[in-house]
Amino acid sequence: MTNAVIYARVSSREQQDEGYSIDAQLKVLRHYAREKGFAVSGEFVEAATAKCEGRKAFNEMLRFLKASKDCRTVLVEKTDRMYRNLRDYVTLEDLDIALHLVKENQIISKDSKSYAQFMHGIRVLMARNYSLNLKEEVEKGMLEKAEQGHYPAMAPFGYRNNRDTRAIDPHSGKAPVVKRIFELYASGKHSLSTLRTAIVAETGYKLSRANLEVILKNRFYIGMFTWKKREFIGKHSPLIDVALFNRVQQQFASKNRPKYQKHHHAFAGLVVCGNDGHQFTAERQKGKYVYYRCSDYGREKCRLPFIREEELSDRLGQTLADIHIPDDVYAQLCDSFERDAATAHQQRERRV
């Protein structure tokens, strides 16, 4: 008997759960296999869109076919169950298998006549066009929904999607939490970390610092939302008034202002301790005297004494004074610079 594998697919998990066609596909394909005398080596089933490559069961089937040299036949209900994109079409074609399209009564392989392969290619393009057109229609519908003031996606924290009315309503348990988040942060007494701790203590909701920042900057809570880079006035009920929202944004601005160094020390970051290799840090005493010390001094690991900036400057000056260029080397450098300048001038003249 000839070995074959079965592939069955529906577009979404909802279709699978509602019993749309997986069982029906398997019934047809198993019957076809018995009728044609195929030994089924495996069945690959999934609920996923075929418009993009990378489906889990499809990729598992590809790996199986690559590893199994004695199984070169795939049974599928029809073209659009197998793929709706050109990349998967080419990938399967490169495996040199026989594809049995049961409901279309076609067998596509390298030995198929050109007309059959042409018609199969047309069906692939039609399946791809169906997905692209469906995407356009969905996006058009979602944009129209946004223009009418209805947020066309999952509601953010504090709201819920009402399946009956298709509207977005405040969540009875989470809406008060959102209000409390804004009130606490607007007080100016909290960072995102302390705000997280306070919210957990008061409400029991564990929100990450990143989620808190998203909530605090989301204009959805004042009745606005952004869709496709456009802002719309929503028909949902605001949870936060504009004044409170603006106070929160002011808090973010104040906490994120750049911090400028008050004092600029001459040797900051340039000197390291000879005992342990730690950098020297500078301190200003009595508003005018600058002292340098090992940054490990306060931990009682390094007892190198403080040194005044003037003394440190003198010592570095003595070190630099010992660094000089001998006269003969200096003359060679000067000659080299002059020759380079002359050469550059000649090249520039030639280009002109």
Question: What's this model's pTM, rounded to 2 decimal places?
Answer: 0.47
| Average pLDDT of the residues in 285-307 | 72
Please give the pLDDT value at position 276: 72
173, 209, 352 from 239: Cα distances, Å:
13, 20, 71
The single-letter code of the amino acid at 302 is C
Q: CA quadruple 229, 234, 240, 241: dihedral positive or negative?
A: positive
Residue 201 has pLDDT above 70, yes or no: yes
Please give the pLDDT value at position 140: 86
pLDDT digits 0-9 by tens, 298-326: 555 677 778 888 887 888 888 777 777 88
Looking at 206-215, 239-248, 329-338, which range is the least confident one?
329-338
| Average pLDDT of the residues in 260-272 | 69
Structure token digits, residue 67: 């590893």
Distance CA 155, CA 237 (A): 12
pLDDT digits 0-9 by tens, 97-120: 999 999 999 999 988 888 888 888
Distance CA 159, CA 220 (A): 10
Please give the pLDDT value at position 19: 44
Please give the pLDDT value at position 181: 95
**Three-state SS string across 129-162, please?**
HHHHHHHHHHHHHHHHHHHCCCCCCCCCCCEEEC
pLDDT digits 0-9 by tens, 18-53: 445 888 999 999 999 999 999 999 999 998 877 777
| Average pLDDT of the residues in 185-204 | 91
Per CATH, the homologous superfamily of domain 159-255 is: Putative Large Serine Recombinase; Chain B, Domain 2 (3.90.1750.20)
Please give the pLDDT value at position 62: 92
Please give the pLDDT value at position 39: 94
- Residue percentage of the chain with pLDDT more than 90: 40
User: For residue 256, what pLDDT band results from cuts at 50, 70 and 90?
Assistant: low
Find the length of the chain. 352
- Nearest in space to 234 (alpha carbons), one of 219, 224, 246: 224
Distance CA 202, CA 210 (A): 19
Contact 239, 175 (CB under 8 A): yes
Per CATH, the homologous superfamily of domain 2-132 is: Resolvase, N-terminal catalytic domain (3.40.50.1390)
